[in-house]
Amino acid sequence: MRLEKYIATSGIGSRRAVKKSIRAGLVTVNGETILVPGHPIDVGTDTVVFDGKLVEPLTEHLYLMVNKPSGYVTTRRDERGRSTVMSLVADLPDSIYPVGRLDLETEGLLLFTNDGDFAYRLLHPSYEVEKTYLVWVKGIPNDTAVQRLRQGVTIPSGKTAPAKVKRLKTSRGEASTQFEVVIHEGKKRQVRLMFKAVGHRVIRLKRTRIGNLCLGGLPQGQYRFLTASEITALMEL
């Protein structure tokens, strides 16, 4: 088995994060530091250590969703002392980690797991898993601006892929507009930067769906475990 897959499936982190850790020299196999992802190991005989801790296969995988409130960073720990999403699942095993990110101010659906294959399937760009957001913006974007968003706009990390953009509600008194936006990429602060590119500031952002999994009525700050059918459906996207 590839080294990064073994570590990821043990619940240490996503395969992408594990690859970075390998390149950073945090992984040894039988006492030898490995710096290149893809190194083959024998699960039955090799001893793998990650950041000083023995890596052992998990006996149980966990899958859950959290309704993330604004004001939490999506990291396991924060050097600036800010609240992290891990505090929302503090009563669960510390092997779980968030699948992807929602920025500090963004609310809504955030998945957690200790299954590296599950996380890889949802995060890797080749699978183009759709994410749906409710977006409230300052001002009233005209039809030209909306069409630009649908076709793709240039943000600091490059041009975005075409998006599904639906105008839901306009408040002329407050000079704000609500949209539903569906994207399949995961560029940093992508939705906010998309609207900034067409001249409108996002004032609230909430993710409501990943693939066919909907946030539903889950209370803010709470979590629930995914059903077997939900897990299967996400893995088949």
Residues with catalytic function: 103
Which token pair is 229? 């059918």
User: What are the backbone dihedrals phi and psi of residue 111, each rounded to the nearest 5 degrees, phi first?
Assistant: -95, 150
CA 95, CA 92: separation in Å to the nearest integer? 8
CA distances from 87 to 73, 101, 110 (A): 10, 15, 13
Any idea which residue has 């043990």 for tokens? 10
Here the tokens at position 146 are 């909306």
Is the distance from CB of 119 to CB of 62 less than 8 angstroms?
no
